[in-house]
Amino acid sequence: MGRRRRLRKVTKWTGVSACAVILAAWGVSEIYGIRMPVSDYTYLVSTDGCIRVTSWKMPRLLHDLPIGGPLDVGERTFGFEWPNFDRGPQVILVEIPYWLLILGSGMQTAMLFFFDRRRVLPGHCRECGYDLRSSTFGRCPECGLTAVAAGDA
């Protein structure tokens, strides 16, 4: 029981951290565009609240593309667009907005926090929930939590 609870705790806080990193990347993408070559055929762009992956069917010279820089402020959507998949004769474009990533990881994290909240009934152990109303020990016989009496829980 302890290992499972520890794993869920790590999973919950990893989800919170992932949401914070995605939110920070979203903010940075609104101010500063980042272009990163992945291979001779593909590059990744983080700009205007979206992650765009573009892949060509033939090699392209990516070294002449700028790596990053301030964005030209045109029509701003702040990433509130629907995901886009565009396939042309020479190029494939996949566009995923950051809000969708935050929604996906945030909903799972929120559900873990919601389902892990426990209400301890009066007269039960705070750690494992064992019924201590008829127990006369100074500790829980199930998990061994000390200084737990029927009146304490």
For 56-89, write each residue's pLDDT tens digit. Answer: 777 655 444 545 555 444 455 666 667 777 777 7
| pLDDT (tens digit per residue) in 83-139 | 777 777 778 888 889 999 999 999 999 998 888 876 777 778 877 778 887 777 677
The model's pTM is 0.64
> Using CA atoms, how far apart are residues 95 and 85, in angstroms rounded to an integer?
6
**Looking at residue 40, what is its pLDDT?**
76
> Using CA atoms, how far apart are residues 52 and 85, in angstroms rounded to an integer?
10
| Beta strand ranges found along the chain (DSSP E) | 32-37, 42-47, 50-56, 68-70, 84-87, 91-97
Cβ-in-10-Å burial (0-12, 13-18, 19+) of 51 comes to buried
Residue, of 40 and 94, whose pLDDT is higher: 94
